[in-house]
Structure 1
Amino acid sequence: MVRAAVTGRSLSSLGDTDLSRWRRWRTAAALATVVDVLAFALLHSTDLGLERAHAGAFVTAMLVATVLLGRTAMPCPRSMLLLIVALAYPLHAGVLSLLASHFGPLAASVPAALAAALTLLLGLSAFADNARGQDFSVAAPLAIAYLLVLRLIYLGQLELAPQEAYYWNYAQHLDIGYLDHPPLVAWLIAMSLALGQGEFFVRLPAVLAWAVMLAFVAAFAHDLAGRGNALRSALLAATLPFFFGIGVLMTPDAPLAAAWAAALFWLHRALLGGRQTAWLGAGVAIGIGMLSKYSMVLVPAATLAFMIVDAPSRRLLLSPWAWGGALIALLVFAPVIVWNIQHDWASFAFQGARRLGERTPQFSLHVFLGSVVLLLTPLGVLALWRLPRPPGGMTSPCLQAVPAADAAALARRRRLFVLVFTLVPLLVFAAASIRAETKFHWTGPIWLAVLPTLAATMSRPGLGEGTLDRLLARSWVPLLHVLILVYAYGLFYYPVWGLAGVRAHHHYLQMGWRDLRRQVQEIEEQVLQETGRRPAIVGLDKHNTADEMAFYDPRGDGARDTASRHLFYDEKALMYEQWFRPAAFAGQDLIVVAPARDELNDPRIAAAATRLGPIQTLTAHKNGIAVGTYHARVVYGYRPPTPAPRQ
């Protein structure tokens, strides 16, 4: 889908052969739609089941379309047609599963068939003209649109990951700060939930942040290297693993990446483009980034480093515009400062000295380096060799204020900007990994600065370029095809539909939380009938179980009465320790839920109970398949443990 683009000619200017081919595509797509709907109606009337009926109808429709296209109307090799069909299938399935529960399978089969036919038609158009090579002017927008539509169709059909449910709980306890993260993720979720409830609206801000990130990546790349590079950079931002993932799961990384990309755009204009007002945009972006995640502080650190090492930028250290941008960033971030003052600097300490001090030193540089390969892909790592070479030329109007007398000096400054805004944050995490554990996604936003450099390696190299340039140019498109297929089937289709009858769900994702919470609710109703008191729920781990029990509470009030392990153990439970004090549950009945049976026999649980109920085994199901086992036990008459005296 991302290999070739149409020439941009209007249909009226096409030759007779091209016009005939276009009409044949439309006819094939239209007939495929009709065949799809009729075949589905026929197959669904039997006892095949929804999954087999939709698969059979889709295959039949695509075979009919292929026959109608024939060799003369085929704008691409058979392998490329197979790719288009493979991309259409999860879209077809997603539309069907999304609408079937609301309108019935037969009615849902019509838009599903239309979605598949439209994918086929647009895919053929994207491959229609191979003569221009890797132009990407049509293919890149189509690929990005495909990934966006795929998100919008599937996001409401996938269970929340525990971390997402935790941030949803943030939104149920709105504040200007939290222990382990700044508050923007909670604010965004709360605003989205004002539009509706459910998984889709929890994740909607992530999709919007992803779109904002793409827009600023394209704008930054356009300023740095021109329009062609901007399209390729946006395509990489849409498909490389980290950047794709932040637009699927709602975490602080989503608004962080959007703010980071915006900051790069405005800082590039301020430092290299001479736009004084750009400092104000940079200040807003940095402030928003700091409201997302504290690692955003590395952007102003890199800005200061660039202003020191770049001679023309040193005078800006005294610029009132630069300091005005810094003041704006501080004002936007002010709510977090206020919260920390009110809570004895708890969040700053948690993310700083206290976090490092409480952990045993651990060498994880190898994990850090492995995460770079995972986030950029091996091909992206190879493409980093182009970092010393600036991509393209500065043709954007925003940089016309820069004196053009010394093009070489301008190229060096552009290269220095990319290097500093990549290496300064990267070296901070690399140094931290020498003595502390690092997580694979921490460096994700750092790579926004190098996307234009990676995008430059996607274009067909000139005669003087080396073997590596040619390898990179040939390899990017197949890699992007593979990544898009992996996302479409691995992250969307498989969790909802399974694959060839196999539905082995991951213990963290798609655990059957809704079904598990339904079973816990049955225990809750039994306790209420027995005692006349409604019990609270306790997840016996750091926060994952409590997160899911709260979100999937069928009564809708789980955020008010679902606590974590700190009610029994002197162990960390993050914000649950502040939301739910043990003393507030004194005398109340609790349903304790844990993944391991032995955890419910812990003496500390018995010591906190007036009476204990039997341990019950709960098997969670998803799509009729057993996917996990949990255990529950009722604690009658909870007695909070006596706090240990402080030393």
Structure 2
Amino acid sequence: MKKITEGTAALYTALLIVVTFIIRLFIAAYTGLGIGEAYYFRGALHLDLSYFDQPPLFFWLGGLSIKVFGLTNLGIRFPSVLLFAGTSWLLYLVTKKLFNAKAGFWAVLVMNLSAVFTVPIACWFQPDAPLMFFWLLSTYVIVDVLSITDEGRTKRGAGQVYLLWILVGICMGLATLSKYHVIFLFAGVFIFVSANKNQRHWLRHPGPYIAMLITLVIAFPVLYWNYKNNWVSFVFQGSRAGSSGGLHPVWFLRSIGGQCLWLLPWFWFPLVKQLIVSFKKRTLSQSYSFLFWTAILPLVFFTTVTLWSDLQYHFHWQAPGYMMLFMPLGYAIDKSLSDPQKARGTKRWLVFSALFTIITIGVLCIDEVTGFWQSYGPKWVVSLVDKTPEAKKNEIDPTIQGVDYDDILTRFQKEGWMNNNKIFVGATRWWLTGKVDWVLKGQKDIICFNDDPRNLAFLVDPNKVVGEDAIIIDQGSPASVNNDVKPFFDSVKQLPDIAIIRNGREELHLQVYYCTHFHVPATPREDLPLYHQLTGRPPFGK
């Protein structure tokens, strides 16, 4: 392992970013879209001021990217790959400011090796990539304007100070357009300033308030869209933290275990240790104090609410907090490598981590493309990952969810449905609707027949397809077809399944229904947003 010095840290960081950027371009191009990505796809085609479950920036970037690079996997994912390269460089710059350049390199390295960051955040079409970039860009400017170093305050003219606060407002505004998580950065910086006597003068300075005003102006599209739609996005996201009745310690433990696995245990424990170190040093060091307050809030909030709210498997929601802890971890690695007694063990830990991530990501990507695990891998591993009855019964490899369901398009072309302008498409779950929509590249109007259509309820007006026939796709839930599909049609006829084939092997079967004459049901269905729309009301709310 080459020795990293203050003089070479920037060069090696840049090389690391370039290499990982190129690798991620291949991953983005040659692996299929996951269920979340495919679900979000329609939003990139239908640009709006904001959306049901996320602010608009990543939709806007995805829409721009597919216009430039085409409607391909790489085309829609390219902004995420590019932004994460920028995020890595910003992590280096901020860590250099707070500690040193060597710490910056190690922080970037371990972040790129951690599971949740290296592909899900860095490659996938999700709001997390712009959030992380603009979160760190905001942090970079905030650290600069607040002079958060242990070396003392930087003297600046009044004009420079106001310019920096204007930049803070712009960056925070763009972060707000990325994901609602940014509220924790606002709160963390406020607590840091309030808790440190050397920073409290900013509470009386116009700069922070100018920044907040600029942030609100930039975030106006989100506020206006929600105002026009009964604040549905805020209600939806807020309801996720609501009580499900009583306390559920199992959910809490699942959240902690999930975070540990998503980050990889040999990173998670050192990161938690650095959170404790930052807490202990918060009164002695401006750097540690700032990192503690900007890390702790998303970590505590999204973990604590799992005691009463089932957040399921959203273990990445704490990621901004962990990202801040990579900085003190990078500094700890630098100190360990300078200690003869710790250097050898630290090097082995780094080499093991690099090999594990490279091999694991390689195996998963190859399996996603080829499905080799179904033929050569032990099935008990699959059962550990996917515990659904269908997966156990049919031994479904969960990586099939990351395969584009091209066989749907093949069937549509064979039957002539693609060229029939009087046929639209539907599905019985929001995630399945997204998978169908992506493989058809948005060429068909599509409707989710479910009480939880999410963003899809706002992207296609069902009134425009009244009277038309539909092809409905289902995956193992005939009760949903009977309850939520049949009332909207004169007749529903099941056709032969569509087999999703990977590398010559049938791995998944989707049920297909031909439905005639879409109409308003005779019996009211107030439980379905689709019914609300067909009767002239918003899909959610009054």
Q: TM-score, normalised by structure 2?
A: 0.82
Mapped partners of 1:383, 1:227: distance in 2: 20
- Flag the 1:557–1:7 CA change in 2: closer, same or farther, 3 A: closer
Alignment of 1:540 onto 2:414: no
CA-to-partner distance for each residue in 1:453-510, whole Å, 9 max, x for gaps? 111232363797987x87445412321221122223323x332345597597536533
Indicate the residue corresponding to 1:371 in structure 2.
Answer: 258
Report the 3-state secondary structure (helix = DSSP H, G, I; strand = E; otherwise coil) of the residue aligned with 1:461: helix
Indicate the residue corresponding to 1:397 in structure 2.
Answer: none
Mapped partners of 1:561, 1:231: distance in 2: 48
Mapped partners of 1:342, 1:616: distance in 2: 43
For residue 580 of structure 1, report the CA deviation from its aligned partner: 3.5
Amino acid at match of 2:519: R
Report the 3-state secondary structure (helix = DSSP H, G, I; strand = E; otherwise coil) of the residue aligned with 1:610: strand
- Flag the 1:281–1:239 CA change in 2: closer, same or farther, 3 A: farther
Amino acid at match of 2:100: G
Report the 3-state secondary structure (helix = DSSP H, G, I; strand = E; otherwise coil) of the residue aligned with 1:630: strand
Mapped partners of 2:525, 2:504: distance in 1: 47
Amino acid at match of 1:367: R
Report the 3-state secondary structure (helix = DSSP H, G, I; strand = E; otherwise coil) of the residue aligned with 1:517: helix
Mapped partners of 1:179, 1:602: distance in 2: 27
- Flag the 1:614–1:145 CA change in 2: closer, same or farther, 3 A: same
Mapped partners of 1:322, 1:231: distance in 2: 31
Report the 3-state secondary structure (helix = DSSP H, G, I; strand = E; otherwise coil) of the residue aligned with 2:199: helix
Q: Which structure 2 residues correspond to residues 129-168 of structure 1 after superposition, within 5 A? A: 141-168=14-41
For residue 538 of structure 1, report the CA deviation from its aligned partner: 0.6
Which has the higher mean CA deviation after the structures are superposed, 277-286 or 633-642? 277-286
- Flag the 1:179–1:526 CA change in 2: closer, same or farther, 3 A: closer
Amino acid at match of 1:236: V
Mapped partners of 1:241, 1:179: distance in 2: 28
Contact 1:6 1:138 in 2 (8 A): no
Alignment of 1:459 onto 2:347: no
For residue 198 of structure 1, report the CA deviation from its aligned partner: 0.9
Report the 3-state secondary structure (helix = DSSP H, G, I; strand = E; otherwise coil) of the residue aligned with 1:311: coil
For residue 192 of structure 1, report the CA deviation from its aligned partner: 0.4
Indicate the residue corresponding to 2:386 in structure 1.
Answer: none
CA-to-partner distance for each residue in 1:116-142, whole Å, 9 max, x for gaps? xxxxxxxxxxxxxxxxxxx87776554
Report the 3-state secondary structure (helix = DSSP H, G, I; strand = E; otherwise coil) of the residue aligned with 2:473: strand
Mapped partners of 2:338, 2:134: distance in 1: 39
For residue 645 of structure 1, report the CA deviation from its aligned partner: 6.4
Indicate the residue corresponding to 2:364 in structure 1.
Answer: 490
Indicate the residue corresponding to 2:310 in structure 1.
Answer: 437
Contact 2:283 2:289 in 1 (8 A): no
Contact 2:252 2:303 in 1 (8 A): yes
Indicate the residue corresponding to 2:192 in structure 1.
Answer: 306
Which of these residues, 229, 237, 243, is aligned with residue 103 of structure 2? 229
Contact 1:302 1:425 in 2 (8 A): no
Contact 1:585 1:638 in 2 (8 A): yes
- Flag the 1:621–1:584 CA change in 2: closer, same or farther, 3 A: same
Mapped partners of 1:321, 1:244: distance in 2: 36
Which of these residues, 342, 347, 350, is aligned with residue 476 of structure 1? 350
For residue 7 of structure 1, report the CA deviation from its aligned partner: 10
Which of these residues, 259, 283, 303, is aligned with residue 169 of structure 2? 283
Report the 3-state secondary structure (helix = DSSP H, G, I; strand = E; otherwise coil) of the residue aligned with 1:167: helix
For residue 512 of structure 1, report the CA deviation from its aligned partner: 4.7
Indicate the residue corresponding to 2:137 in structure 1.
Answer: 262
Indicate the residue corresponding to 1:561 in structure 2.
Answer: 445
Q: Which structure 2 residues correspond to residues 510-525 of structure 1 after superposition, within 5 A? A: 510-525=402-417
Larger radius of gyration: 1
Report the 3-state secondary structure (helix = DSSP H, G, I; strand = E; otherwise coil) of the residue aligned with 1:159: coil
- Flag the 1:368–1:278 CA change in 2: closer, same or farther, 3 A: farther
- Flag the 1:340–1:370 CA change in 2: closer, same or farther, 3 A: same
Higher relative contact order, chain-length normalized (CA < 8 Å, sep 6+)? 2
Mapped partners of 1:550, 1:448: distance in 2: 33
Amino acid at match of 2:446: T
Which has the higher mean CA deviation after the structures are superposed, 265-274 or 408-417? 408-417
- Runs of 5+ unmatched residues, structure 2: 378-395, 528-541
For residue 603 of structure 1, report the CA deviation from its aligned partner: 5.1
Indicate the residue corresponding to 1:449 in structure 2.
Answer: 324
Report the 3-state secondary structure (helix = DSSP H, G, I; strand = E; otherwise coil) of the residue aligned with 2:334: coil
Alignment of 1:428 onto 2:301: yes
Mapped partners of 1:316, 1:147: distance in 2: 39
- Flag the 1:444–1:604 CA change in 2: closer, same or farther, 3 A: closer
Report the 3-state secondary structure (helix = DSSP H, G, I; strand = E; otherwise coil) of the residue aligned with 1:441: helix
Amino acid at match of 2:82: L
CA-atom RMSD, angstroms? 3.2
Contact 1:387 1:415 in 2 (8 A): no
- Flag the 1:610–1:475 CA change in 2: closer, same or farther, 3 A: same
Amino acid at match of 2:185: V
Indicate the residue corresponding to 2:465 in structure 1.
Answer: 585
Indicate the residue corresponding to 1:619 in structure 2.
Answer: 499
Indicate the residue corresponding to 1:60 in structure 2.
Answer: none
Indicate the residue corresponding to 1:100 in structure 2.
Answer: none
Contact 1:176 1:339 in 2 (8 A): yes
Mapped partners of 2:264, 2:460: distance in 1: 42
Amino acid at match of 1:415: Y
- Flag the 1:534–1:136 CA change in 2: closer, same or farther, 3 A: same
For residue 285 of structure 1, report the CA deviation from its aligned partner: 2.1
- Flag the 1:470–1:263 CA change in 2: closer, same or farther, 3 A: farther
Report the 3-state secondary structure (helix = DSSP H, G, I; strand = E; otherwise coil) of the residue aligned with 1:635: strand
Mapped partners of 1:371, 1:526: distance in 2: 41
Mapped partners of 1:322, 1:624: distance in 2: 60
CA-to-partner distance for each residue in 1:584-638, whole Å, 9 max, x for gaps? 3322111111011634761553333323323321111123222211110101112
- Flag the 1:601–1:227 CA change in 2: closer, same or farther, 3 A: closer
Number of equivalences: 489
Indicate the residue corresponding to 2:220 in structure 1.
Answer: 334
Which of these residues, 414, 417, 436, is aligned with residue 549 of structure 1? 436
Report the 3-state secondary structure (helix = DSSP H, G, I; strand = E; otherwise coil) of the residue aligned with 1:591: strand
Contact 2:278 2:292 in 1 (8 A): no
Report the 3-state secondary structure (helix = DSSP H, G, I; strand = E; otherwise coil) of the residue aligned with 2:336: coil
- Flag the 1:361–1:189 CA change in 2: closer, same or farther, 3 A: farther
Which of these residues, 186, 191, 200, is aligned with residue 74 of structure 2? 200
Report the 3-state secondary structure (helix = DSSP H, G, I; strand = E; otherwise coil) of the residue aligned with 1:179: coil
Q: Which structure 2 residues correspond to residues 631-646 of structure 1 after superposition, within 5 A? A: 631-641=511-521, 642-644=523-525
Report the 3-state secondary structure (helix = DSSP H, G, I; strand = E; otherwise coil) of the residue aligned with 1:613: strand
Amino acid at match of 1:506: P
Which of these residues, 367, 370, 383, is aligned with residue 270 of structure 2? 383
Mapped partners of 1:8, 1:572: distance in 2: 53
Amino acid at match of 1:596: G
Contact 1:383 1:472 in 2 (8 A): no
- Flag the 1:477–1:457 CA change in 2: closer, same or farther, 3 A: farther
For residue 320 of structure 1, report the CA deviation from its aligned partner: 1.4
Contact 1:261 1:448 in 2 (8 A): no
Mapped partners of 2:339, 2:98: distance in 1: 23
CA-to-partner distance for each residue in 1:516-554, whole Å, 9 max, x for gaps? 2321343353995xxxx631111111x12221222221x
- Flag the 1:265–1:544 CA change in 2: closer, same or farther, 3 A: same
Mapped partners of 1:235, 1:267: distance in 2: 23
Amino acid at match of 1:621: I
Alignment of 1:323 onto 2:209: yes
Indicate the residue corresponding to 1:248 in structure 2.
Answer: 123
For residue 201 of structure 1, report the CA deviation from its aligned partner: 0.6
Mapped partners of 2:243, 2:282: distance in 1: 48
Contact 2:406 2:439 in 1 (8 A): yes
Amino acid at match of 2:2: A
Mapped partners of 1:176, 1:309: distance in 2: 37
CA-to-partner distance for each residue in 1:397-417, whole Å, 9 max, x for gaps? xxxxxxxxxxx9995222211
Contact 1:150 1:488 in 2 (8 A): no
